[in-house]
Amino acid sequence: MSVNKKLVQTARELRLKRGLSQNFLVDDAALSTIAQAAIPENAETPIIEIGAGAGFLTHYLVASGHPVTAIEIDDRMIPVLKEAYGQAPNFRLIHQNVLHVDLLSLFPQTGVIVGNIPYHLTGPILFLIAGEMNQPDFPLRQKLENVVLMVQKEVGDRLTARPGASAYSQLTVQVQFWFETQRVLIVPRNAFYPSPAVDSMVVSLRPRQAPPIAVQDLAFFSRLVKEGFVHRRKTLMNSLKMRGVASELQLKAAFAEAGIPTNARAQEMSIPQFGALTDVLLAQR
């Protein structure tokens, strides 16, 4: 199955808006791979597409037979999408900014979110979908089977990083606390029209049934992670001391009890290690 050539021609004729980060993925192999990663097994499971654009990925999603709701903000894309898919019984279009859409209301039970998201809105969209780390009962997260997003490669590296990697960051811990993350594929810039200045990565975020470690106080855990990454080149102990999380004496005792080397840096810490340190520091209070 290949992308409708008429869609490609239509996209080339449109004056794209730089402010909306419009770079259309037109590579069939990449589109097919993204669709395969996103389309769920149950034929009744709904799919929400963020930023449908001219409908390149939509082509594959609608063809799957699943109920598809496409969200698109650009006025000029709406007639293109309606012409291509308006007659499909499994297609619905929402003409709105995704940040203003009640995504939870679109899932009667569980569902999947997929999209080539605007890169300048990656952070807000991620937390619209995933919630904050200290929100254990975030409603939308509990309705998701899978989230498949195309992001800048640099962001994808952070989302999928493991402890010790240079890309391992506060964002890594925030997302991986509630989601299992996996790289689906790297998408080079020449796979888009027009070509962006960076390569992209497609990542899969699958909600965990439970976080890697249960912590007594998620708010304090979240603060410890945030403060720990403020001074990445310093040891975690020094960072936490400088940020006023605890005194040097308290930190030395806590690191020893949690079995964490005093020279460890935040990017070397696993989520369970952050959790263990959180609970020890709480017990000192």
Per-residue pLDDT tens digits for 91-143: 999 999 999 999 999 998 899 999 998 888 899 999 999 999 999 999 999 99
In this chain, the answer to whether the domains covering 5-207 and 218-284 adopt an identical fold is: no
**218-284 CATH, one of 1.10.1750.10, 3.40.640.10, 3.90.79.10, 1.10.8.100:** 1.10.8.100
Nearest residue to 129 (alpha-carbon basis) of 120, 145, 15: 145
Query: Which architecture does CATH list for 5-207?
Result: 3-Layer(aba) Sandwich (3.40)
Give the residue extent of every domain in the chain. Answer: 5-207, 218-284
pTM as predicted: 0.92
CB 193 within 8 A of CB 12: yes
* pLDDT band for position 273 (cuts 50, 70, 90): very high
* pLDDT band for position 17 (cuts 50, 70, 90): low
Question: Which single residue is written with the structure tokens 């439970």?
Answer: 210
Q: How far is CA 36 from CA 101, 186, 223, in A?
A: 25, 15, 37
